[in-house]
């Protein structure tokens, strides 16, 4: 219905799912044919130029983050090459300085992210199993409803949720943030994992049933091992979403004790105070975690992204 991702999109990310040698052969041949029709040299040059252009802003900030405070405020980062002077002071100040204290916000980010990834995936796995493999009345209607709720912008829910949390007396703690992130992730997670579960051959499940396995055992012993790639894909996507989120954190966790690093950065970015020169270092402290995840697990990341692009 809403935004089905075309099958074709995942092909190049998972060549091992293709039909072995023949498929790779074809890809190679086509790649060769393409290369013959265009001068690959000029394409390479354009590719490099574009990639460099795309990276300059990040690179500039990275260089800036290692420059002494007075240089950051006075001259541009490109002058650092003719007049090299670098320091790690910004990083230690940003992390442990009393005015910024990014270290404790970093801790908050970790504390927020882990449960906000584990809880929705577990709940979504169970729900997806029910929708895929248990016959019950109203199954289709419920599934379509969950699916449709994907398009609800989270903005619509924030204020009523906040007053509910205040009523319960849990506002300003980690609990509302965990709960909210988990809830917002569910419709998409259920939908995606359901699609993966449906792809598992029926015979496998039937065979386990004949052997006398109940739903719980089938879920854990038959399905879970086969779903590891899907879980990884969604897990990474959710990790990045939660780690990089600003809106949910600002709404439910702007208090210093629970605010993640994005909140502190946005705050610092809005003020041009004495800590302004720590902004580049602070930004990189926040960026480095998702970038490592991205570089290490690019393949899964892409799959999660292809699948998860409709969320928000």
Show contacts with other proteins in window 42-81 (CB under 8 A): 43-44, 46-48, 50-52, 54-58, 60-61, 64, 72-79
Taking CB under 8 A as the binding criterion, the range among 30-38, 80-88, 195-203, 224-232 that sits at the site for other proteins is 30-38
**Cα dihedral sign for 194, 196, 199, 205?**
negative
Angle formed at CA 134 by CA 180 and CA 197, multiple of 5 degrees: 65
User: Closest Cα partner for 197 from 234, 167, 165, 172?
Assistant: 234
Tally the C-alpha atoms within 13 A of residue 154's C-alpha that lie toward its C-beta. 21
Q: b vs e for 49-60, b when ≥16 Cβ sit within 10 Å of the residue's Cβ?
A: eeeeeeeeeeee
Q: Which of residues 141-180 bind other proteins (CB under 8 A)?
A: 142, 146, 149, 151-153, 155-162, 164, 169-170, 172-175, 178-180
Taking CB under 8 A as the binding criterion, the range among 85-93, 199-207, 227-235, 300-308 that sits at the site for other proteins is 300-308
Q: Is 298 a binder of other proteins (CB under 8 A)?
A: yes
Residue 204's alpha-carbon distances to 133, 207, 209, 228, in angstroms, are 12, 5, 9, 16
Taking the complex as a whole, the smallest distance from the CB of residue 246 to other proteins amounts, in Å, to: 4
Please count the other Cβ atoms lying within 10 Å of the Cβ belonging to residue 107: 12
Taking the complex as a whole, the smallest distance from the CB of residue 172 to other proteins amounts, in Å, to: 8
281/67 Cα distance (integer angstroms): 10
2/77 Cα distance (integer angstroms): 45
Taking the complex as a whole, the smallest distance from the CB of residue 262 to other proteins amounts, in Å, to: 5
Q: Which of residues 86-145 bind other proteins (CB under 8 A)?
A: 104, 107-108, 111, 114-115, 118-119, 122-124, 126-127, 129-131, 134-137, 139, 142
Query: Residue 278: exposed, middle, or buried by beta-carbon count in 10 A (0-12, 13-18, 19+)?
Result: buried
Q: Is 34 a binder of other proteins (CB under 8 A)?
A: yes
Q: Using CB under 8 A, which of 16, 37, 82, 225 touches other proteins?
A: 37
Taking the complex as a whole, the smallest distance from the CB of residue 88 to other proteins amounts, in Å, to: 19
Q: Rank residues 27 and 226 by Cβ distance to other proteins and give the closer one.
A: 27
Q: Is 20 a binder of other proteins (CB under 8 A)?
A: no
Taking the complex as a whole, the smallest distance from the CB of residue 39 to other proteins amounts, in Å, to: 9
Q: Using CB under 8 A, which of 33, 141, 210, 274 touches other proteins?
A: 33
Taking the complex as a whole, the smallest distance from the CB of residue 235 to other proteins amounts, in Å, to: 14
72/56 Cα distance (integer angstroms): 17
User: Closest Cα partner for 286 from 108, 118, 52?
Assistant: 108
| Contact in structure between 186 and 120 (CB atoms under 8 Å) | yes
Q: Which of residues 235-294 bind other proteins (CB under 8 A)?
A: 240, 243-247, 250-251, 257, 262, 265-266, 269-270, 279-280, 283, 286-287, 290-291, 293-294
Taking the complex as a whole, the smallest distance from the CB of residue 206 to other proteins amounts, in Å, to: 16
Taking CB under 8 A as the binding criterion, the range among 32-40, 83-91, 198-206, 226-234 that sits at the site for other proteins is 32-40
Taking the complex as a whole, the smallest distance from the CB of residue 207 to other proteins amounts, in Å, to: 19
| Contact in structure between 208 and 139 (CB atoms under 8 Å) | no
Q: Which of residues 185-204 bind other proteins (CB under 8 A)?
A: 186-187, 190
Taking the complex as a whole, the smallest distance from the CB of residue 199 to other proteins amounts, in Å, to: 18
Q: Is 225 a binder of other proteins (CB under 8 A)?
A: no
257/20 Cα distance (integer angstroms): 53
């Amino acid at each position: 219905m809403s935004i089905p991702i075309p099958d074709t999109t995942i092909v190049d990310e998972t060549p091992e799912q293709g039909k072995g040698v023949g498929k790779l052969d074809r890809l190679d041949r086509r790649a060769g044919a393409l290369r013959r029709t265009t001068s690959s040299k000029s394409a390479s040059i354009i590719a490099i130029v574009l990639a460099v252009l795309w990276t300059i802003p990040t690179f500039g900030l990275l260089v800036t983050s290692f420059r002494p405070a007075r240089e950051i405020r006075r001259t541009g980062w490109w002058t650092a090459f003719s007049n090299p002077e670098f320091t790690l002071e910004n990083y230690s100040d940003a992390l442990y300085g009393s005015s910024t204290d990014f270290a404790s916000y970093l801790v908050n980010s970790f504390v927020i992210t882990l449960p906000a990834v584990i809880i929705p995936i577990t709940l979504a796995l169970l729900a997806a199993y029910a929708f895929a493999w248990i016959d019950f009345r109203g199954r289709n209607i419920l599934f379509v409803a969950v699916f449709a709720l994907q398009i609800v912008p989270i903005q619509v829910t924030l204020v009523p949720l906040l007053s509910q949390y205040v009523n319960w007396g849990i506002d300003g703690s980690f609990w509302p943030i965990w709960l909210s992130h988990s809830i917002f992730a569910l419709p998409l997670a259920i939908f995606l994992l359901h699609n993966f579960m449906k792809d598992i051959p029926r015979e496998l499940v039937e065979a386990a049933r004949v052997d006398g396995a109940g739903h719980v055992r089938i879920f854990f012993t038959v399905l879970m091992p086969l779903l590891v790639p899907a879980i990884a894909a969604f897990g990474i996507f959710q990790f990045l979403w939660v780690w990089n989120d600003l809106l949910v954190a600002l709404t439910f966790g702007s208090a210093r004790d629970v605010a993640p690093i994005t909140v502190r950065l946005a705050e610092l970015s809005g003020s041009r105070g004495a800590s302004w020169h720590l902004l580049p270092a602070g930004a990189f402290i926040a960026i480095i975690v998702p970038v490592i995840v991205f570089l290490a697990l690019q393949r899964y990341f892409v799959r999660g992204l292809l699948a998860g692009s409709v969320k928000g």
